[in-house]
A and B are shown apart, each in its own frame.
Chain A
Amino acid sequence: MELLASPAVRVGLSVAVATGLYGISFGALSAASGLSLAQTAALSLLMFSGGSQFAFIGVVAGGGSGLSALSAAALLGLRNGVYGMQLNFLLRPRGWRKAAAAQLTIDESVATATAQSELPEAKRGFWTAGIGVFVLWNVFTLVGALLGGAVGDPRQWGLDGAAVAAFLGLLWPRLRSREAGAIAVACAVVTVVAVPLAPPGVPILCAAVVAAVLGLRRMPPRPAEAAADRRPGPQPGRDGGA
């Protein structure tokens, strides 16, 4: 398989397995919240955004109205709109691919795509992670809904730790410049402060706003300029010419 030679495809597949398996906990929890098998499957197929799905069944299980379940899910899903804007610019999908890409736009596919430094790799990473998570998430949603609590808590197997490691692994290569480090620190602080104050999903939006403003205002030098700054030897102009 030539595709497997692509680092982005391998990253996408690892992400898909780690995330897809988590569908078990959604399926089990959804069934426990009183949703039928078909309703549980419909949420994973149609909504396809883990955080929003957990929020939706959480409100339903708590006896909340359908409207408040929808609102919680919609609020959590707002970040997907920001992702969509970014991916549209990066990947430029056309026609039906645009709709397919939209449905596959989730944390994991976006993170895999944007972590790549070349466009073809970004595309491979996006589609591998997106389709991979979609298939596995829906399969394991069914497994979880059918088996219920019999499979136990996926956290016991450290699956939540796998998600943490995957996101850190995608972030890591982007932290080479001092500017990126400063943006990361600012966004980490904003996120930690916002988590207890705002509904789930919103802290990520706060961090997105802070990052965009920092990116627009402070102008991180591009790699070529940064390299020029560090170049040893006489400065141009000081000893040159005349």
Chain B
Amino acid sequence: MVLWFWILAAGIVSFATKLAGYLVPARILGNPRMLRAAGALTVGLLTSLTVVTTVSSGSALVPDARLAAAAAAAVALWLRAPFLVVVAAGALAAAAARLAGLP
């Protein structure tokens, strides 16, 4: 029962955090400076997400088969492959690297 309380509370906190962002009036972000900052923010967040999913495991940097996935995806993107092919290349590379003995 106690765990149920914390599960529901954590769910509410999660939703409230997301909703809080939507309650910031959009016009605050409407001027050109903020637009540029938002564009930079997108690049920064996508970069950080890519790096985190590639090399982190919890609070540790763990180089493993995911690096092969990133390399394969980069090659596919360089060759202008469609998105689905890029994703498949990443999965195949990671699976192959693990078969080959990488962690």
A residues with CB within 8 A of B:
7, 10-11, 14-15, 18, 35, 39, 42-43, 45-49, 52, 56, 60, 66-67, 69-70, 73-74, 77-89, 92-93, 98-99, 101-103, 105, 107, 110-111, 114-115, 155-172, 174-175, 180, 183-184, 186-188, 190-192, 195-196, 198-200, 203-204, 206-208, 210-212, 214-216, 219-220
- Residues from chain A with Cβ under 8 Å of B6 in the complex: 66-67, 69-70
Q: Is B3 an interface residue (CB 8 A)?
A: yes
A195 to B60, CA, bound (A): 6
Dominant secondary structure at the B interface: helix
Closest residue of chain A to B76, judged by CB?
A165
- Residues from chain A with Cβ under 8 Å of B17 in the complex: 74, 77-78, 80-81, 84
How many chain B residues sit at the interface, stated as a range, is 35 or more
Q: Is the CB of A215 within 8 A of B94?
A: no
Q: Is the CB of B43 within 8 A of A162?
A: no
B residues with CB within 8 A of A:
2-15, 17-24, 26, 29-30, 33, 36-56, 58-61, 65-66, 68-70, 72-74, 76-77, 82-84, 86-98
A164 to B45, CA, bound (A): 14
Q: Is the CB of A166 within 8 A of B44?
A: no
Closest residue of chain B to A70, judged by CB?
B10
Q: Is the CB of B21 within 8 A of A168?
A: no
Closest residue of chain B to A205, judged by CB?
B48
Q: Is the CB of B90 within 8 A of A164?
A: yes
- Residues from chain A with Cβ under 8 Å of B93 in the complex: 158, 161
Closest residue of chain B to A84, judged by CB?
B21
Q: Is the CB of A199 within 8 A of B54?
A: no
Q: Is the CB of B59 within 8 A of A66?
A: no
- A83 in complex: contacting residue of B18, B48, B55, CB < 8 Å: B18
**CB within 8 Å for A84 and B18 given contacts A171-B50, A191-B52:** yes
**CB within 8 Å for A164 and B21 given contacts A192-B55, A195-B56, A211-B41:** no
A42 to B15, CA, bound (A): 13
Q: Is the CB of A161 within 8 A of B22?
A: no
Closest residue of chain A to B78, judged by CB?
A172
A73 to B12, CA, bound (A): 11
Provide 7 A-B residue pairs closer than 8 Å at the C-beta atoms, listed in order of the A residue. Answer: A46-B12, A83-B18, A98-B22, A160-B65, A161-B66, A162-B90, A169-B86
